A and B are shown apart, each in its own frame.
Chain A
Amino acid sequence: MRQIEIAIVGGGPAGLAAALNASKLGARVILIDRNDYLGGQLIKQTHRFFGSKQQRASERGIDIALELAREVMSNEHIEVLTKATALGYYEDGVLLVEQAGKIIAIKPERVIIATGGAEKTLLFPNNDLPGVYGAGAVQTLVNVYGVKPGQRVLMVGAGNIGVIVSYQLLQAGVEVAAIIEAAPRIGAYWVHAAKVVRAGVPIYTRHTILRAIGEREVKGAVIAQLDENWQPIPGTERELAVDVICLSVGLTPLTELLWQAGCQMTFVPELGGNVPLRNEQLETSVPGIYVAGDVGGIEEASAAMMEGALAGLNAAASLGYTCDTLIDDRQNVLQQLAGLRSGPVGEKIRKGLAQCSL
């Protein structure tokens, strides 16, 4: 049995920031990730971040991932386990991890769950055909491996991810036939949407996909206009010749470990699904278990890094570690989070978070 002060599950932006901040106070940390690299989904984000300088605005996700991973790997207070899957968390406080076919039992004094989110799908006939991808899947294929998913894409969903991935497809030399959005207006930042529209990609709001066409693979898609009650309007069906249907219809938190650990959960549509109740410290209803990033509610990478920092500081502080600037550091992170969640853009998140505080 391995004893450790803090175990962190997930090596994405939240987990990396948590590890760095906990170790900064002096705590000993094990960081566990099922991939063979660190950085989570940042490794495919080629766009520049928004926000303030402290939130790494104007840096690209791929560069942030490399920098954070390098800092973590060279930190002697942090032990990194990659290609390691957290299998479960049990009543006696034991976290079981599988690595290279072996089971490792870890008994941490604190746990930070930073497992992130997973792409949602959409119901329509033939949605299981090869050629129907999550938008993140396409982004990984294109930006990490330099491989095209197909020749011509229908993007479903005009939120930030749908629009950004559409632009990245254009950069990779893939044609985007259209972006469709069921809502009457797009959810993406206008600066990104303007880029794809200028490049000649139409965005159809109040439109949905009715079905995918194809026997063995996607050969096309039928789309239609929606009325005020979100019902397809007969006669508006249109067939698009596409070999890729890319679904960008939201993410949902990956909460399996939290359920298993017995954390109190609640369904919050604004945050993407079931999320854990948590206090201001980001501690769940199970003492000693903290959450950070998308597993606590779908937001974006800047917020995930801020939450990771907060969870890392709080978990370490709860073990008795401190430093001269601890109070200021915490306050600073809280202010930045409030800034990210301010205004009309953050309204949904604020509404969601109000439903899951302990």
Chain B
Amino acid sequence: MRIEKHPILEFKPGKIVRFTFDGRELKGYEGETIAAALHAAGIRTMRESGHLHRPRGLFCNIGNCSSCLMIVDGEPNVRVCVERLREGMKVETQKGKGELK
């Protein structure tokens, strides 16, 4: 789902980093957001809602709406649309409110 050719923009990806999504190993670029890397891998579902267990994904992509909360390196409620991807990150689907351990 990455853009190959663009008439105006030139995307200069950072170095390739590895991370896991629900245990699955994925690759993305350093400096992009976790949400961008997941979308590039075709993953659009980020959490499950608290009451009806509905799937939820990105909505605003600027850190405002809290639709994209995930568990990152054990910490719940991380807004993955503004959190930058780093080598070795452990990203998990968040179900419900999330608990601090």
A-side residues, CB < 8 A to B, are 34-36, 41, 46, 60, 118-119, 121, 128-134, 136-138, 140-150, 171-173, 216-217, 254
Contacts and interface: CB of A to CB of B under 8 A. Distances in A.
Main secondary structure of the interface of B (DSSP, over half): loop
B60 A46 contact: no
Given A145-B11, A145-B40, 10 more contacts: A35-B63, A121-B59, A129-B55, A130-B46, A131-B57, A134-B60, A147-B36, A173-B3, A216-B55, A217-B57
Interface string B50-64: 000011111111111
A216 B82 CA distance: 23
Contacts of A35: 63, 82
Main secondary structure of the interface of A (DSSP, over half): loop
Nearest to A254: B64
Contact of A173 (B4, B32, B58): B4
A136 B55 contact: no
B51 to A, nearest CB: 12
Nearest to B10: A146
B19 to A, nearest CB: 15
B14 to A, nearest CB: 11
Contacts of A136: 60-62
A41 B95 CA distance: 30
Contacts of A128: 49, 54, 56
B9 A146 contact: yes
A134 B61 contact: yes
A142 B60 CA distance: 13
A134 B2 CA distance: 19
A118 B65 contact: yes
A36 B60 contact: no
Contacts of A254: 64
Nearest to B29: A145
Contacts of B59: 119, 121, 132-134, 137
B39 A171 contact: no
Contacts of B44: 130-131, 149-150, 217
A118 B80 CA distance: 17
Nearest to A118: B64
Given A46-B8, A46-B9, A130-B46, A140 B62 contact: yes
B101 interface: no
Contacts, number: 106
A35 B60 CA distance: 14
Nearest to B64: A118
A145 B36 contact: yes
Given A147-B40, A216-B45, A137 B8 contact: no
Nearest to A214: B55
Contacts of B58: 130, 133, 137, 141
Given A142-B3, A147-B1, A217 B45 contact: yes
Contact of A130 (B7, B57, B63, B64): B57
B5 interface: yes
B94 interface: no
Contacts of B5: 173
Nearest to B61: A137
Contact of B32 (A121, A130, A131, A145): A145
12 contacts: A118-B62, A118-B65, A128-B49, A130-B45, A130-B57, A132-B59, A137-B61, A145-B32, A146-B2, A147-B39, A149-B44, A217-B45
Nearest to A145: B36
A141 B61 contact: yes
Contacts of B62: 41, 118, 136-137, 140
Contacts of B6: 146, 171-172
A345 to B, nearest CB: 25
A357 B49 CA distance: 41
Contacts of B90: none
A172 B39 contact: no
A35 B63 CA distance: 8
Nearest to B84: A36
B49 to A, nearest CB: 7
Contacts of A141: 35-36, 39, 58, 61
A123 to B, nearest CB: 14
A82 to B, nearest CB: 12
Interface string B15-27: 0000000000000
